[in-house]
Amino acid sequence: MATEKDLESIVSMLADDVLGRKREHYEHPLPSSYIKALEATTSDPNNKLIVACNGNEVIGVQHIRFIAFLTKKDYTKYKSL
């Protein structure tokens, strides 16, 4: 699971992308909004933020959101974002 120590690497990867260049703001130190977003995401049990590592280097990230439905007898599914 992602922690605050992974956040700079995550934001750097997100900003190094055609879409991310337009919407992310990578700088050192990171804007506090990223720390607040990480805290909100990781404190919600319906969110999982998973990092892929090669040794100590973060090389990927996946955000999984579990969604509960009223239909199908409270069926819960996940959506990878």
Residue 69 pLDDT > 80, yes or no? no
Query: Which residue has 């607040």 as its token pair?
Result: 36
DSSP character for 1?
A: -
**Which domains does the chain possess?**
4-80 (3.40.630.30)
Q: If you average pLDDT over residues 3-8, what whole number do you get? A: 96
Q: What does the pLDDT read at residue 67?
A: 82
Predicted confidence at residue 72, as pLDDT, reads 63
Q: Are 49 and 61 in contact (CB under 8 A)?
A: yes
Report whether 29 contacts 77 (CB < 8 A): no
What's the chain's average pLDDT? 89
Per-state percent for the chain, helix, strand, coil, to nearest 5? 40, 30, 30
pTM of the model: 0.81
Q: Is the pLDDT of residue 29 over 70?
A: yes
**pLDDT per residue as tens digits for the range 30-67:** 999 999 999 999 999 999 999 999 999 999 999 999 88
User: Residues 58, 13: contact at Cβ < 8 Å?
Assistant: yes
What CA dihedral angle connects 38, 40, 45 and 48, to 10 degrees? -20
